[in-house]
Amino acid sequence: MSIPTPNGPAVETFWLTKRFGRTLAVDNLSLKIPRGSTFGLLGPNGAGKSTTIKMLMGMLSITGGQARVLGVDVATDPVQVKRRVGYVPEAHHIYRWMRVGEAIGFCKSCFPTWNDSRCRELLDLFGLDVQKKVKHLSKGMQTKLSLLLAVSHEPELLLLDEPLSGLDPVAREEFLDGVLQTVCDRGQTVLISSHMLDDVRRLADTVGILYEGKLLLQGHLESLLGTTKRITATLRDGVRPANVPDGTIFQRTVGREWTITVRDFSPEKLQQVRALDGVENAVAADLGLEDLFKDFIRGCRTEKVLESGSV
């Protein structure tokens, strides 16, 4: 039996690996999410986000390594993990023939820590009708029901797997409200994987970028945004210089315009670029989360990433 540690990180994985036949879905992932933080897991389709979350939830066998959730080894005691974690999957498979009220009753019977008042509060917030059958709910309503079922037992950790895809803006906002209310009231730890980078930026304080099963980087969101800059310069002859500053994630040239995205930016790096032969008008600018994410992924794809650029 594993002994839960109350103050350890909410999620900790050690060389977590998942293989489906020949394909490596998650590759030696070592992740650490402290309690009380909101972690945004970003990555293109097929990067291994859902696979990772399912392994953390004890719903997928682990090929190698270890995953500890709330101090419990998932492989040895998945039931305890499920009791203390709330999970909103990407696709909802709540029994379609149940009424909303019945689905709530079913879940309530499974969790000893079920909180009725929280449940009612969310029912009101989401405007869910307990008499309605699950199969007659819209996609947005199903997602909200899924969130309601995931947070009403007061979990210590909330795993949200692409919860916002396919929701209209109003439903998305209501969903985020629901998540925020639980985060505010209980200081829950949240892991959210999403493509909606704007929403991730609102919610998350820490982010990690997953690409082909590997964690490219993990860090505090605002400091990451603050220290990553994009330098734009003009190339006199349109020829890209051979050497670039340390920490260059991605570079490209369009005609004479040369753009490089640099991690751990410092004024010296800008000076370095200015000092290069044939480079004029080098200016550094901030970039948003979306551009940062895209540049990281593009950088990996073109395999132009330098050793210092990868974690």
Partner 1 sequence: MNIDPGSHVPIYLQIADAVRAAVATGVYQPGEPLPSLRAMAVEVHVNPNTVQRAYDELQQEGLVGSQRGRGVFVADRGTSVARLAAEVGVRRGLEEAVRAAQRAGMEPSQVRDLFGAVLDRMIQEGRQSS
Partner 2 sequence: MNTGWLLWKEYRQNRFIIYAALAILLGPYLIGFGALYGWRLIYCPMNVTPRNWAEVWWRVLAFANFCSMFLSLLSIALIGGNAISGERVDRSSEFLFSMPLRRSRILVGKLLLAALVIAVIWLLNDFVCWLSPKMPGLKVPGLRSLPLAFIATSSLVIFCSAWFFSSLVTSPAFDVCGGLMTPMLVGIGIRFTTWLLTPHGAVPFAGNYDADFSRWYLRVCCVIAPVCFCIGTWRYLRRVEP
Binding site for partner 2 (CB under 8 A): 57-62, 75, 78-80, 82-83, 87, 89, 91-98, 105-107, 109-111
Q: Report whether 16 contacts 53 (CB < 8 A).
A: no
Q: What is the largest CA-CA distance in the chain?
A: 72
Q: Which does 37 bind (CB under 5 to 8 A by kind): partner 1, partner 2, none?
A: partner 1
Give the DSSP letter of residue 92. Answer: -
Minimal distance, residue 19 CB to partner 2, in Å: 14
Cα separation, 66 vs 223, in Å, equals 29
Minimal distance, residue 173 CB to partner 1, in Å: 7
Minimal distance, residue 191 CB to partner 2, in Å: 15
Q: Give me 85's structure tokens.
A: 């974690």
Q: Which does 238 bind (CB under 5 to 8 A by kind): partner 2, partner 1, none?
A: none
| 116 three-class SS | helix
Backbone angles phi, psi at 199, to 5 degrees: -70, -35
Three-state SS annotation for 32-72: EECCCCEEEEECCCCCCHHHHHHHHCCCCCCCEEEEEECCE
Nearest in space to 85 (alpha carbons), one of 14, 35, 30, 46 = 35
Q: Which does 61 bind (CB under 5 to 8 A by kind): partner 2, partner 1, none?
A: partner 2
Q: Which does 89 bind (CB under 5 to 8 A by kind): partner 2, partner 1, none?
A: partner 2
Cα separation, 87 vs 46, in Å, equals 20
Q: Give me 306's structure tokens.
A: 């330098």
When the beta carbons of 133 and 256 are compared against partner 1, the nearer one is 256
The residue to which tokens 């009101």 are assigned = 124
Minimal distance, residue 77 CB to partner 1, in Å: 30
Minimal distance, residue 2 CB to partner 2, in Å: 16
Q: Which does 277 bind (CB under 5 to 8 A by kind): partner 1, partner 2, none?
A: none
Minimal distance, residue 89 CB to partner 2, in Å: 7
AA identity, residue 302: T
AA identity, residue 303: E
Cα separation, 31 vs 26, in Å, equals 12
Backbone angles phi, psi at 278, to 5 degrees: 80, 10
When the beta carbons of 116 and 177 are compared against partner 1, the nearer one is 177
CB burial readout 142-158, b (16+ within 10 A) else e: bbbbbbbbbbbbbbbbb
Minimal distance, residue 213 CB to partner 1, in Å: 27
When the beta carbons of 78 and 278 are compared against partner 2, the nearer one is 78
When the beta carbons of 81 and 244 are compared against partner 2, the nearer one is 81
Q: Report whether 194 contacts 43 (CB < 8 A).
A: no
When the beta carbons of 11 and 192 are compared against partner 1, the nearer one is 192
Q: Which does 111 bind (CB under 5 to 8 A by kind): partner 2, partner 1, none?
A: partner 2
Q: Which does 96 bind (CB under 5 to 8 A by kind): partner 2, partner 1, none?
A: partner 2
Q: Which does 189 bind (CB under 5 to 8 A by kind): partner 1, partner 2, none?
A: none
Minimal distance, residue 110 CB to partner 2, in Å: 4
Interface residues with partner 1 (CB under 8 A) are 37-38, 173, 176-177, 180-181, 183-185, 197-199, 201-205, 222, 225-226, 232, 281, 283, 285-290
Kind and range of the H or E run holding 262: strand 257-262
